A and B are shown apart, each in its own frame.
Chain A
Amino acid sequence: MWASVELPAWARPLSAPTAGPPERSSAFPTTPSGLPNVERGRRLFHTVGCAVCHGIDGAGGVRNPNYVRDTIPALDRLAERMLLFEKADVQTVIEGLARHDLPDTLPQSGLPRWPVVRAQYESLRNLIWNGNPAGKRDPRGPEPIPMPAWKDRLSSEDVDDILAFLLSRSL
């Protein structure tokens, strides 16, 4: 079955083998952007381990026992979290991330709500850099899986590229 699906077969829960033709899937469902920083971010996201918890392409769906939200946050709607609702605005931020000078150039970017965008960007960077404990649903229950700190594993440029890739999911 050459079904059109939201997630590729290898990203979905496994099912029993079938006797018919192989089920169609693709490695990376998002269309290649052609932007080097986005493609580098895509590769980093899937190779350093982000996808283990946040799902393939940041689609989420991974359970975190005793976490307040039950599943580890999906990251495929990062643009909305950064209050970027227009594709042109997302593109502007991706370009700033490619130059690795986003905080400095945002004021001249013409973006609406740029102070909020910058604050959200810095908040995300800080979260990735230093990690974050996961809130417990049952205070007496086990510790949920926390967000690990990446400051010793990723460079500043790596983080920018990963954010660019996640933002590109909204393009």
Chain B
Amino acid sequence: MRPEKLGTSWVLGGAALALVLGVLGGLWTSSGLEKSLPASSVPATVAYTAFSHRKHTTLGIACGACHFQTYVEAWAGLPSVELCRLCHRSVEAPPASWEPATRLPGHVFFSHRRHTVSGGISCERCHGEVQAWDAPPAEPSFPRGMAGMNRCVACHRIVGASTDCLSCHR
């Protein structure tokens, strides 16, 4: 083959290859094939305020693994964003205005630790089927006001715990 013929072949070959790659690339993106690439089994980006208990409990994660404060503190607290980042690469933190659904009134003394550690009471006894929730609660997972207090008193009577007002109220 003469040198000038070889040059022409290279140009034509390169153009054909570019055309083929372009068509394949277009097919790849338009057909959604790129979406079938292996992804992480956990979403890379999540929002703290869109937390699904169900998705986590079905993996077998125990309540106390994230809500460990309930076993060492009076207050329950909420898991930190850093805890979420152990598995999720990016976690959208809650806005400054965001508040947990449950706030204990100032005149009520309640210790989670006393109930979970000393009392040995399981989470669902008070909080129900939290593991089935797909979104954070809009309402407290334990009823407010008299309805809540009646549940406390009923349980205290069953186990013989004190029902004296000052046991729980300041």
Q: Is A52 an interface residue (CB 8 A)?
A: yes
Would you list 16 pairs from A and B whose C-beta atoms are within 8 A, ordered by A residue? A9-B122, A10-B71, A14-B63, A17-B125, A17-B129, A22-B158, A27-B71, A46-B72, A51-B64, A53-B61, A61-B60, A63-B58, A71-B60, A144-B41, A145-B41, A148-B87
Interface size class for chain B?
Answer: 35 or more
- In the complex, how many angstroms separate the beta carbon of B162 from the nearest chain A beta carbon? 15
Contact A22 B159 (CB under 8 A): yes
The interface residues of chain B lying within 8 Å CB-to-CB of A11 are 62, 64-65
Contact B129 A14 (CB under 8 A): yes
The interface residues of chain B lying within 8 Å CB-to-CB of A144 are 41
Cα distance A53–B86 when bound, in Å? Answer: 9
Select which of A21, A51, A65, A142 is within 8 A of B68 by beta carbon: A51
**74-91 of chain B: CB within 8 A of chain A:** 82-83, 86-87
- In the complex, how many angstroms separate the beta carbon of B118 from the nearest chain A beta carbon? 9
The interface residues of chain A lying within 8 Å CB-to-CB of B60 are 13, 55, 61-63, 71
Q: Is B49 an interface residue (CB 8 A)?
A: no
Q: A22-B125, A25-B121, A49-B86 are in contact. Are A10 and B63 (CB under 8 A)?
A: yes
Contact A51 B65 (CB under 8 A): yes
The interface residues of chain B lying within 8 Å CB-to-CB of A148 are 86-87
Contact B41 A14 (CB under 8 A): no
Contact A56 B64 (CB under 8 A): yes
Q: Is A86 an interface residue (CB 8 A)?
A: no
The interface residues of chain B lying within 8 Å CB-to-CB of A13 are 57, 60, 131
Q: Is A66 an interface residue (CB 8 A)?
A: yes
Cα distance A61–B122 when bound, in Å? Answer: 18
Q: Is B124 an interface residue (CB 8 A)?
A: yes
Contact B86 A55 (CB under 8 A): no
A12-B62, A27-B71, A55-B62 are known; give 15 further A-B pairs, CB within 8 A. A11-B62, A14-B57, A20-B158, A22-B122, A27-B64, A28-B71, A46-B65, A47-B68, A51-B68, A52-B65, A53-B86, A56-B62, A140-B38, A141-B41, A143-B41
Cα distance A61–B61 when bound, in Å? Answer: 8
Contact A55 B65 (CB under 8 A): yes
Select which of B41, B42, B65 is within 8 A of A56 by beta carbon: B65
Cα distance A66–B59 when bound, in Å? Answer: 12
Select which of A43, A52, A65 is within 8 A of B72 by beta carbon: A43
Contact A10 B123 (CB under 8 A): yes
Q: Is A99 an interface residue (CB 8 A)?
A: no
